[in-house]
């Protein structure tokens, strides 16, 4: 999963949010350098990613886009799933999307000094662009996919992928809406054991 899902799966806990948000940028055993609540968030982030990579519905979605994303299909599926979470938000949260997002922005901004330097540098731009809101519409999704594509060797056909995804969005939504409740349950279960 990408930023939106990791923030959502922090269950309104500010320490978990920071850890879950920085999870991709904390390598190996460096998680041990952080405060206990943030450590839990980093480990939760890793558990979420592992569970997602192995869930049959996420695998099915990944295979649908492999011709566009190649070996990056898992990461691209994570981005697409954040769009699906955004558009299906009322199914999974009683809190309005705008309220949730603004709360996350405030909490991340306040805690920026606790993040790896790469995120301290990137966060102001993300906040200025209201990065979670970008997942709500096609234009924002394509922007995220375009940014990701620039980091890929050889890039990818963002327009072709986007056209295919929106043409098949009902099928992707079906995958997501089976997968995501399982992920929420697994994240809560893993959190209890951390």
pLDDT, tens digit, 9 for 90 and up, residues 22-79 = 999 999 999 999 999 999 999 999 999 999 999 999 999 999 999 999 989 999 999 9
How confident is residue 108, by pLDDT bands cut at 50, 70 and 90?
A: very high
Exposure on the CB side of residue 174, measured as CA atoms within 13 A = 4
Domain count, the chain: 1
Helix (H) or strand (E) holding 27, with range, is none
**Domain containing 137: what range?**
3-193
State both tokens at 98: 């705008």
pTM of the model: 0.94
Sign of CA dihedral 37, 42, 45, 47: negative
């Amino acid at each position: 999963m990408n930023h939106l899902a990791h923030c959502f799966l922090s269950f309104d806990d500010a320490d978990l949010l920071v850890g879950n948000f920085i999870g991709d940028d904390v390598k190996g055993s460096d998680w041990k350098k952080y405060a206990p609540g943030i450590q839990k968030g980093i480990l939760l982030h890793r558990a979420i990613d592992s569970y997602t990579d192995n869930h049959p519905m996420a695998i099915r979605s990944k295979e649908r886009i492999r011709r566009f994303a190649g070996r990056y299909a898992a990461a691209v599926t994570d981005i697409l799933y954040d769009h699906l979470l955004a558009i299906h938000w009322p199914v999974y949260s009683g809190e309005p999307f705008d309220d949730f997002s603004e709360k996350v922005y405030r909490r991340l901004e306040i805690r920026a000094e606790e993040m790896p330097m790469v995120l301290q540098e990137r966060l102001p731009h993300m906040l200025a662009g209201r990065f979670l809101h970008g997942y709500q519409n096609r234009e924002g999704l394509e922007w995220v996919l375009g940014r990701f594509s620039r980091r890929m060797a050889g890039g990818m056909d963002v327009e072709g992928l986007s056209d295919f995804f929106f043409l098949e969005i009902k099928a992707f939504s079906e995958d997501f809406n089976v997968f995501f409740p399982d992920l929420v349950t697994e994240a809560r279960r893993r959190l209890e054991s951390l």
